[in-house]
Structure 1
Amino acid sequence: MVPPVFPAPDSAGPAPTSGIPTSPAPAGPSREQWPAVQEYAGAALGGPPTTGPTDRTAPAGPDRLGAGGSPDGPVSAPPDAAGPIAPAPRRRLPVVLAVVLLLVLAGVGVAVVRPGPVADWLGGAEDTRAEPAAPEPSPSAVLAGADPNAPEPTPDGVRAALDPLVRAAALGDRVNVSVADAVTGQSLFGRGADDGTVPASVTKLVTGVTVLAARGPGYRIPTRAVAGANPGEVVIVGGGDPTLAVDKNGFYPGAARLDDLARQVEQALGGAKPTKVIIDGSLYSGPGLEPGWDEDIPTGGYGSPITALMTDGARRDVPQAKRDHEAGNHAAVRVSEPDLTAGRAFARRLGLPNSAVSRGTAPIAGGDATAGAPGSELGKVESMPLMRLVDIMITDSDNIIAEALARQVALARDKPGSFVGAGAAMDEVAGELGLPADELSLADGSGLSRTNRISPSLLTDLITLAGNGSRPELAAIFGGLPVAAWSGTLGDRYETAGTEAGAGVVRAKTGTLSSVNAIAGLVTTKDGRLLTFAVLTDRVPGGSDPARVALDRIAATLASCGCR
C-alpha cells in the first residue's frame, strides 16, 4: 500500500543545490506569476524531486490576518487556561494508507505538478494562464507516496523537546498545542489540544477544507446579467466572486471581468441600449461586517463589508494596491459599498452614468426565452476555480476571499449566505469529514472575529485528512501554504537564532491579532518524518513579534530533533 501524499508548495525560482534558499527570499515575483489552476498530489514530500512551473511566492510581510500590524485590545473572554500536558498519545484520526488519488484537472485549467520533497521545493518555469471553464473533473488513481519508514519521533521525545518551549513567557499562560505523525495519525504531543482557542487567520485552513469539500476544487462562482422587469433594465446578479475585475487591469490575474460581461449584454440586446442597471446582491443576507470584528477592520485595510457583488476584493485604488502588494504590504483602502462600486463600474461599461444604478432583485425568468424577456440571461462570467481561490486565500491570508468562500459553503448546504449561515455550514461539513466538530465554533471564515474557537487537535486532524489521499480534493489547501523563510506570511521568519532549522522545512498558516498568535501546518524532521502541528495562544502578554519567534522555535525544534 502507498502512504499519504502531502503536496509540495508553490515553487518560486531555481532551487539552490541544498534545496533551501541560501539567501533571503525575493520580495515576491510579479502578481502575474500567481499560478493558473494546479494539480495537487504530484510527488510525496519524501519522494524524488520533480520540476514544476513557476508559482506565486507571495511577498513577505507580517500577518495580521492578511499582513500588517496587530489591532489593539484584549482577546474577549477566552476559556480557562489549558490543562496539563497529555502523558500518553491517542489515536484521533486513523489514516488509510492506500493508493493516492491524483486530481486530474485538465478540464479545469493548466496542470501544475507540485515538486517535493521539502529540500527540493524550489524550482521554476514560465507561468501559464487558466483555460476556459469546463465541467468539474473526476479524480483518477496514481501511485505516489512518502517513505513511511523514516524514524518516527516518540511522545516522550517530543515532550522533552517542546515542554520548555511551550512555557515561554512570550506566549503567555494559555498555549494549546497538538503534534501528530502525518503518516500514522498518531498523537505525539498534546497540551490543551482539544480546547477551543482563538485561532486568528489559521481559521482559513478550515474555510479552505470545507469549501473544497462542499463545492469541489473545480467549481467557479458565476456573475450573471439578466434582463430586468422593465424595458432597458439590466440586472447584474452577484454570485459571490470576490476577485471579479472591471477590466484586464484587475487586482487578481485571471479573474472574471465586467467588461467581458458588458460585451455579452450588448450582443444579447442586439443594439438596444440599456437605460438602467440594477444590482442584485440578494444571495447574501445579514450584516456585511461581523460583530466580533475589531472596530478598525473596515478602515484598517484588511476587511470590508461582505457583499455578493464586488470587484477586486473591494479595493478602492487597484494600481496602488498592486504596488503595495509587490512591496509586501497586503493592506489596501477598501470601499464602503462594494456592490454599488461594482455596479457603477458595470454601468460605465454599458455607457450609463452612476445615477442609472440602484439596488434591487432580478425578476424570475418566465417561459419567454426571447432575448430581453424579463429574467432572461444576457451574459455570464465565472471566477477562477475554487482551488485557485483557496491557494490565494492561504498564501496571502486574503480575508475577503475567505469570507466569500465561507459563504459558498453555506450556499452549498442550503443555508443563508451570511456570517451565521457560513459558520453553521462549515461546522456541519467539518463533522461530515469526521473532524471533531464539537471543538469548532466559527463566526466568520477569515479569522478576524475574536469569537472564533478552534482546537489545535482539530487542525492537525484536518491537515492529516487533507493529505492522506482519502479526500484528494482537499489537498488543494497545500498549494498556497507558506514556506518558512521563503514565501507568504513566513517569508521573513525563521531567520533568527533558534529558528533557522525550520527554514524550508516548515510549511504553515499563521494567524495574528492583538494578544493572539497561532501557527499550524507541516514540518519534516531531520530524519525525514513528516509531522503535523498546531500551536495556538490567545493570552499573549506583550507584542506579537516575541510570540512569533517563540512559535517559530517550537516548529524549528520539531524540524531539528529526532525526538526519539
Structure 2
Amino acid sequence: MGREDSHYRPEGVDGRKFGGPGSGGATGRVPVPDAQFPRAPGDPGDPGRRPDAGSAPVGRANPQQYGPDPVGRANPQSYGSAPVGRARPDQFAGRAEQSPYGAAPLRWPDQDGPGGGPVGLAAPPAAPEPPPARPRRRLPMTVLAAVLVVVLAAVGLAVVRPGPVAGWLGGEAASPSASAQPSEPDPLAVLAGPDPNAPIPSADGVRAALDPLVRAAALGDRVNVSVADVTTGQALYGSGQDTPTVPASVTKLATAVTVLAARGPAYRIPTRAVAGATPGEVVIVGGGDPTLAVDKNGFYPGAARLDDLAAQVRKALGGTAPTRVTVDSSLFNGPVYEPGWDSDIPTGGFGAAITALMTDGARRDPEEARRTSEATNHAAERVPQPDLTAGRQFARLLGLSGDAAEVKRGKAPAAAAASAAAGAPAPGTELGKVESLPLVRLVDIMISESDNVIAETLARQVALARNKPASFAGGAAATDAVIGELGLPADEISLADGSGLSRTNRISPSLLTDLITLAGNGSHPELAAIFGGLPVGGWSGTLDDRYQAAVTKAGAGVVRAKTGTLSRVNAIAGLVTTADGRLLTFAVLTDQAPSDTLDQTRQALDRITTALAGCGCR
C-alpha cells in the first residue's frame, strides 16, 4: 500500500471512552485571537461552545489570506488555472507528481514526465466579515497577509516550489538536485484563492448530500465525520464528530501543526561533529535529522550531507589525523520502536528504529529505494541500528578503514572539559555542523508521502521544544500540550506515536477540522505550512491514484487531503472547494471497516469528499 501504513493488522478497535468530548460534549474549539471579555457559560461567545451546524458565522479568515506561502508553494486551491482552483478536464493527462521537497519536482533523473516551473501565491484581499446574528468574538482580518509577509521575510522562507501547476501554465521544469540546498527564487504571484464571498452551503443541504454516503456498507459500522466552513468556522455537518477515533496516518496532521507551532517553519535540525576526549577522536552528535544523506546520492533531495560534514572536520583537525569515530545519539531516549506497533514494522520497511542519528530515513539502500519506491509502491528495507550505520559511513568518509572504521556509542565531551594535546582541538570543540532543510519542507515530505520516520523524529522535536523526553511517550505528551496551548481540546486526542502506526492513537474528526481551520485562519501564520504538502486528489502523494472512477472524478484536482490506512481503519482529512467556490474542511474516520474491502472503502470515502466538491447544498 506504498506510502500508507496499511500493512498494519490490528485485532480490532477497543471501545475505551475519553472524558468530556469523547462521550458527547465539546470543550473549547478554534480560538479567536481578539477575545477579551469573560462570558457566561453557554453564551454564544463562550470558548467552550462549538458552533452548531447552521449557527451564525463567527468570521474566520480564509486560509488563502496568508500572503506569500511559507515555502512559496501554491495555495491549497492553486492547482489549476480554472476559477477558484477547480480542475480542468484535461489536467491529468501525462502528469508528473508534485514535489514535496522544495526545488526539485518529485521526479528522479531516470523518470520521464512533465515538470514545472515556479508557482507562487497572490495574497487575495481580506474577506468581508458576515454580520453575526448574535454577539460573538470576532477574528480581526486586517493586514493578515502583510503580517505574514513580514514573518516570512524574517525567517527567509519566501520561496517558490516548482510543481505540476506551473507545467500547466507553461513554466520551466526544475532540475532535480540531491547534492545542494535548493535555490530560493523570488515568489511569483500567478493564482488567486477561492472566492471568499462564495455562498456557504447550508447544514441541511450538506446533510442531504452526505447522509446516504456516510451509511455506505464499505465504511463499516462506525463512521465519524466533521465538515466545517473554513472562512467562518461554522460547523456544517457532524456525525460522531467529537468521538476520538483511530486516525492512522492522519495523525501526521497533528504532528505537523504542533511541530510548526513549537519549532517554527524556519527551524533546521543540526548534525554536529566535535572533538573527542583523545586526539583524533571525532564524536558525531545526532540532532534528529532523518533526512541526512551520506553524499549526493541520498534519498531526500537537498538534504544535509555527511561528506560535507567530513570535509569540515578534516579542515578543523588540521594536522591531526582522525583515529576513530564515536556516535552520540543520546538526544533521543526510550524504545526505538513503539511498543504498540505491529511486529512486522521493523522488517516490513514502513517504519524504522528511531534514533537521533540516521541517514536516508534508515533506508539500507537509498538509491534503490529512490528508484523503486514510487514505481512498485512498496516500503524500503531499513537498517536495524541507524545511528551506528551512520557512524560507520562517517568514519569511512574521514578515511578510516578496518578496525578504525568500527564505531561505538558514547557521549560528546563538554566543551573545554579537558586540556588539548599539542596541535589538537580541545575536547568538545565543534569541528563541523550541517543542517537539515527548513522544518517546513520536512513537514511537506511527511504529509505528502506519509513518511513515518520523519513523523516520529518531528514528534521528538516537539518534545525537545517543550522540555520533555525525546521519546515516543514524550512526543505524544508534548503534542497534547501544544494542542492545548493552541486553545483546542486536548481531551479529544490521545497519541502513542507521531506517525499513526499505533492502533492506540485516537483523534476526533472535529479536532482535525479545528486544526485545519486554525492553520488557515491567520491567527497562527506559521501553521499555514501544512497546506503545501497536502496531496491533491488524482494527482500527487498518497492521493495520486485516487479519484479516477466516474463517481469520484469530480474530486480530482479539487480535494486536498491527508489519508490514513490501517487494516479496518481508513481516514481522510483536508480541504475541498465546493462548486460555488467555498472552501470547506472535512475529516472522515472509520475504524470498523470490513477487512476485505479496502478499495471499496477508499472509494466510499472519496465519494463523500467528491459530494462536497460538487455541493451547492443550499
> TM-score scaled by structure 1?
0.83
Separation in structure 2 between the aligned mates of residue 369 and residue 97 of structure 1, nearest angstrom: 59
Instruction: Describe the superposition over 1:231-279 as per-residue Cα deviations: whole angstroms up to 9, x where unpaired.
Output: 2211000000000000111111110000111111111110211111000
Separation in structure 1 between the aligned mates of residue 475 and residue 457 of structure 2, nearest angstrom: 9
Instruction: Describe the superposition over 1:402-461 as per-residue Cα deviations: whole angstroms up to 9, x where unpaired.
Output: 111110000000110100000000110111111211101111111111111000000101
Cα offset, 1:291, TM superposition: 1.1
Q: Does 1:534 align with 2:565?
A: no
Would you say the 8 A contact 2:243–2:508 is kept in 1? yes
Cα 1:490/1:530, change in 2 over 3 Å: same
Instruction: Describe the superposition over 1:153-212 as per-residue Cα deviations: whole angstroms up to 9, x where unpaired.
Output: 111111111111111110001100000001000001111101110000101111111000
Separation in structure 2 between the aligned mates of residue 305 and residue 393 of structure 1, nearest angstrom: 17
Instruction: Describe the superposition over 1:476-515 as per-residue Cα deviations: whole angstroms up to 9, x where unpaired.
Output: 1111111111111111111113211111111000000101
Specify the structure having the higher radius of gyration (Cα).
2
Separation in structure 1 between the aligned mates of residue 251 and residue 610 of structure 2, nearest angstrom: 22
Would you say the 8 A contact 2:463–2:474 is kept in 1? yes
Separation in structure 2 between the aligned mates of residue 416 and residue 94 of structure 1, nearest angstrom: 38
Q: Does 1:557 align with 2:608?
A: no
Q: 2:442 corresponds to which residue?
A: 389
Cα 1:226/1:406, change in 2 over 3 Å: same
Q: 2:383 corresponds to which residue?
A: 335
Q: 2:363 corresponds to which residue?
A: 315
Instruction: Describe the superposition over 1:292-350 as per-residue Cα deviations: whole angstroms up to 9, x where unpaired.
Output: 11111111121110000000000111111011134262511111110111000000001
Q: 1:53 corresponds to which residue?
A: none
Would you say the 8 A contact 2:98–2:540 is kept in 1? no
Q: Does 1:506 align with 2:578?
A: no
2:105 corresponds to which of 27, 33, 39: 33
Separation in structure 1 between the aligned mates of residue 168 and residue 124 of structure 2, nearest angstrom: 11
Would you say the 8 A contact 2:568–2:592 is kept in 1? yes
Root-mean-square deviation (Å)? 3.4
What amino acid maps onto 1:239 in structure 2?
Answer: G
Which runs of structure 2 are paired with 1:393-412 in the superposition (5 Å)? 393-412=446-465
What amino acid maps onto 1:359 in structure 2?
Answer: R
Q: 1:185 corresponds to which residue?
A: 233
2:264 corresponds to which of 216, 235, 238: 216
Q: SS of 2:348's equivalent?
A: coil
2:409 corresponds to which of 359, 379, 382: 359
Which runs of structure 2 are paired with 1:100-249 in the superposition (5 Å)? 100=144, 101-102=148-149, 103-105=151-153, 108=156, 111-112=159-160, 124-127=171-174, 146-249=194-297
What amino acid maps onto 1:471 in structure 2?
Answer: H
Separation in structure 2 between the aligned mates of residue 16 and residue 325 of structure 1, nearest angstrom: 33
2:302 corresponds to which of 254, 263, 286: 254
Q: SS of 1:536's equivalent?
A: strand
Q: SS of 1:372's equivalent?
A: coil
Separation in structure 2 between the aligned mates of residue 114 and residue 455 of structure 1, nearest angstrom: 34
Would you say the 8 A contact 1:34–1:253 is kept in 2? no
1:97 corresponds to which of 121, 125, 141: 141
Q: 1:78 corresponds to which residue?
A: none
What amino acid maps onto 2:292 in structure 1?
Answer: L
Cα 1:244/1:5, change in 2 over 3 Å: same
> TM-score scaled by structure 2?
0.76
Q: Does 1:4 align with 2:62?
A: yes
Separation in structure 2 between the aligned mates of residue 27 and residue 475 of structure 1, nearest angstrom: 25
Would you say the 8 A contact 1:15–1:120 is kept in 2? no
2:492 corresponds to which of 424, 429, 439: 439
Q: 1:295 corresponds to which residue?
A: 343
Q: SS of 1:299's equivalent?
A: helix
Cα 1:185/1:110, change in 2 over 3 Å: closer
Q: SS of 1:4's equivalent?
A: coil
Cα offset, 1:16, TM superposition: 8.6
Cα 1:4/1:10, change in 2 over 3 Å: closer
Cα 1:29/1:508, change in 2 over 3 Å: closer
Matched-pair identity in % = 67
Cα 1:337/1:470, change in 2 over 3 Å: same
Q: Does 1:284 align with 2:338?
A: no
Q: 2:548 corresponds to which residue?
A: 495
Would you say the 8 A contact 2:97–2:539 is kept in 1? no
Cα 1:283/1:475, change in 2 over 3 Å: same
Separation in structure 2 between the aligned mates of residue 428 and residue 275 of structure 1, nearest angstrom: 44
Q: Does 1:547 align with 2:601?
A: yes
Q: SS of 2:238's equivalent?
A: strand
Q: Which runs of 5+ in 2 are unaligned?
A: 1-58, 108-115, 128-133, 184-191
Cα 1:357/1:375, change in 2 over 3 Å: same
Q: SS of 1:492's equivalent?
A: coil
Would you say the 8 A contact 1:9–1:480 is kept in 2? no
What amino acid maps onto 1:125 in structure 2?
Answer: E
